[in-house]
Amino acid sequence: MEPKVLEVKELVTRFRTLEGVVHAVNGVSFHLEEGETLGIVGESGCGKSVTMLSILGLIRQPPGKIIRGEAIFMKKDLLKLSRQEMRQIRGDQIGMIFQDPMTSLNPLMSIGKQVGEGMNEHLGMSKKQVRDRVVELLDMVGIPNASERVDDYPHQFSGGMRQRAMIAMALSCNPKILIADEPTTALDVTIQAQIVDLVKALCDKLGMAMIWITHDLGIIAGVANRVMVMYAGHVVEQADVKVLYDSPRHPYTLGLLGSLPRVDGQHSRRLTNIEGRPPALFQEVQSCPFSNRCSYVIDRCRRENPQLRAVGSAHQIACWVDVPTDGKTKVVINA
């Protein structure tokens, strides 16, 4: 096992709204090893992005509040750092690619100035050094005629090129961790594939660890080493990527995979859908959060919220019912 570059323990984040307190992240724990890619998947509103924003100190407080938890990076707990200390880490040692470059980029600043901003802040480089490095980065991420486009503004770039500029910005200070928050959502399918291949190649080349956040399990298959599945602010399954796709064990993961079309030449099958809706998060969940949508539900699911337990080597699920992929079910009595 490689050394852990990030370890998050029991992270809990709440938001106070007019309707009540939203329990957005509920005891999330995970780790990231040096050089690996962790995929975090789940439907919209499951807490994927809020988890990362909490770790990076980007939750607006109020209405948000981190109730408890730890996020150990380089022997420091990120959740206990001051704003100034976090500014020294964000963009320098931890880079982030956001999902919509048009709202993340400043329309009044040139691409070159925005990509070079982190270097000015953290590396103390001269103007010429920054400009040369920006051109190098834009060329690295596949923007043609980078030396001529460096002074262009975001509206002069296509959607795919804006996302490439965001990648260049995230990589500008050679971070130890790259967080990609659904970076292909706003792009068409062809450009999505190019961005996925680009980010994966750059991480391999530079030896960075990466967290890729998405609702698309199809993307994760070609990017991640390990996968963490989230539902209603909880982690419900964790496994190596091959294990998760070959032997998913949580009913929610089974539903997600069942909704993906097969393109491997097997006989066609009807796509499945997950009936019902996620629970409202205005109160802390005492039962399994997936119990109202689960076809394997038992009485215990409605009484107790299961904790993660091992079902194999490096494979954990939060479920009272063992659901092997052969379709036979075994109720877990003493979990």
Of residues 170 and 185, the one with the higher pLDDT is 170
Of residues 78 and 276, the one with the higher pLDDT is 78
240 pLDDT above the threshold of 60: yes
Looking at residue 43, its pLDDT comes to: 87
186 pLDDT above the threshold of 70: no
Q: What is the pLDDT of residues 20-68, one digit of tens each?
A: 999 999 999 999 999 899 999 988 888 899 999 999 999 888 899 999 9
Sheet with 226-231: strands ordered across: 94-97, 177-181, 209-214, 37-41, 226-231, 234-240, 315-317, 309-312
Position 223 confidence tier, pLDDT thresholds 50, 70, 90? confident
Position 14 confidence tier, pLDDT thresholds 50, 70, 90? very high
Q: By mean pLDDT, which of 121-125, 154-158, 311-315 is the weakest?
A: 121-125
Angular region, 212: left φ>0, alpha ψ -120 to 50, beta rest? beta
Q: List the one residue out of 47, 56, 107, 49 whose CA is nearest residue 78.
A: 56
Q: What is the pLDDT of residues 262-305, one digit of tens each?
A: 655 555 566 677 777 888 888 888 899 998 888 888 999 999 99
Looking at residue 261, its pLDDT comes to: 64
Position 76 confidence tier, pLDDT thresholds 50, 70, 90? very high
Looking at residue 316, its pLDDT comes to: 93
Percentage, residues of the chain above pLDDT 90: 34
**Mean per-residue pLDDT of the chain:** 85
Of residues 68 and 101, the one with the higher pLDDT is 68
CA distances from 58 to 160, 185, 257 (A): 25, 21, 32
Looking at residue 325, its pLDDT comes to: 63
Looking at residue 265, its pLDDT comes to: 52
319 pLDDT above the threshold of 90: yes
* Residue 160, both tokens: 């795919």
Q: How far apart are CA 33 and CA 241, in angstroms?
A: 15
Looking at residue 327, its pLDDT comes to: 46
